[in-house]
Amino acid sequence: MLKGIPKILSPELLKVLCEMGHSDRLVIADGNFPAESMGKDAIVIRMDGHGACDVLEAILQVFPLDTYVEKPVSLMQVMPGDTVETPIWDEYEKLVAAADVRGGAAIGQIERFAFYEEAKKAYAIIATGEGALYANVMLQKGVVV
């Protein structure tokens, strides 16, 4: 165990976060996301017993967001005509605001199928047990200053 590291971050996940370089992307996926098929070229880490907010909060304590892009945090956009509510996005905004001075301005949206295509290029995908719909979030890593 280490001091100052959130306990939810496993040694495997810490290793992956440390290996990632500037501009690499990480997907925190909800329980419905096809993590294994999207992550054929990525490292897939299973965190089925955890919600996406807990995982995001812990990661943002050690993971710098990219300052060279306008929106280093991307959400999967709700499909047109879909009536799903996304209250988890408000929680994500609070967590990002606590970690990045840009707050909600650092968060963008990507159309669902474009999100899948970008996820295929991610360095790693974390498969959580999150039950909220459209709870997938992609982070782009910045530099440690």
Of 45, 7, 18, 13, the closest CA to residue 29 belongs to 45
CA distance 103 to 98: 7
Do the bridges between strand 124-128 and strand 25-29 make them parallel or antiparallel, or are there none, so unpaired? parallel
Distances (CA, A) of 51 to 19, 24, 34: 24, 23, 16
- Residues acting as catalytic residues: 22, 66, 116
Token digits of residue 86: 């996304």
Q: Provide the angle, in degrees to the nearest 10, between the axes of the packed helices 88-99 and 52-60.
A: 10
CA distance 48 to 67: 30
